[in-house]
Amino acid sequence: MQKFFGIFVDSAKEFKNLKSVIMAALLVALHTVFAMFLSIQVTDSLRISVSFIANVAAGCLFGPVMGFVCGGIGDIIQFILKPTGPYFPGWTLSAALAGFIYGAFLYKKFPQKVKKATDDTGNFGQLEKLYMTAKILISVCVFVFLMAAPYVTVRDKASKEIILTGSVFDIVKHGFTGPGRNSAIVGIILIAVSVAMVVFAIFKINAVALMVTVFGCFASALAIYTDKKTTTAGWGFYVAVILIIIYMGICIKNMADKHALDLGFLARVTLVLTFDTMLVNVLIGTYWVSVMYGKGFAFYFITRFIKNIIQLPINIILTYYVLGFIKTINDRLR
């Protein structure tokens, strides 16, 4: 416990180090650049961005106290340069809290080099076959659920009358005209993703598979976004998305074994980002959105939850490699 509280003392001392202050300022600037040029504002209440990685780096290098300050300042500067609506202090508090969480659990923590899982006996080859088999089975199940299970129900916005309902096959067959067109397009995207998952599993292409499945899940999240649509997702939709997320997890584990990732540090990053995602982005963030736009918490919760859970695997891998890159630079400077 004493060691944990010592982290905050050491982090506060970073403000006395000119080099640390300059590097922190550069990370705040990097956060601003990422927020301006590498973010997508889907709607007023939903945004996709990788600017968080600068806050992660600040927390890792300088601890929770400076991470808190960098997160808050970065959000204020981002709003000044690229406002997306009225200023709301809740988002500044959330950004500062995220920097605090990163610093509290990642301060001076970096991935270590480990031996590869492969050896002369070919054990990794057997393990990779197991991964491939699991991914193929999951891909087939996704395809079956999309084609046979209830996918979405599209209702008329005024009369609430059901316009389209059924599986992806039904939606694609009857939904290319009228209100069901967007659901039909998303359905085709998900079918293509499920087929691609099989192909990538056979050819053991994990990185591309991860990106494709994330794209597919983002597209599916937009299909059930309720701000402007009267579309209700069926249980088949949720099962398919859950299976795709499991597929992502297997890809990450496969990559960890193949490329000799530090699984202990990867687990730490996973826990920290999951905690931050659930607390700051899903719970607190959804509350801020409901306060700003005057609609109930539950109205925004499902969409924000799905969006953040889908993006989480990419954020974890991105954080792992960025912190590994920072460690390499630190080692060379020393």
Tell me: the pLDDT tens digits for 30-71? 888 887 776 666 555 556 677 888 899 999 999 999 999 999
Place of tokens 């939904």: 175
Tell me: the pLDDT tens digits for 258-301? 777 787 888 899 899 999 999 998 899 989 988 888 777 777 78
According to DSSP H, which parts of 149-262 are helical? 168-174, 181-202, 206-223, 235-258
pLDDT at 37: 73
Tell me: the pLDDT tens digits for 111-149? 887 766 555 455 667 888 888 999 999 999 999 988 999
pLDDT, average across residues 199-206: 87
Confidence of residue 179 (pLDDT cuts 50, 70, 90): low
Compute the distance between CA of residue 301 and CA of residue 18 in angstroms, rounded to an integer: 42
pLDDT at 138: 94
Backbone angles phi, psi at 166, to 5 degrees: 130, -160
Q: Number of C-alpha atoms within 13 angstroms, CB side, residue 121?
A: 3
pLDDT at 66: 93
What's the pTM? 0.68
| Res 177 pLDDT > 80 | no
Tell me: the pLDDT tens digits for 64-109? 999 999 999 998 998 888 777 778 899 899 999 999 999 999 998 8
Nearest partner of 220 among 138, 310, 156, 316, judged by Cα: 310
**Range scoring the smallest mean pLDDT among 217-221, 236-240, 274-278:** 217-221
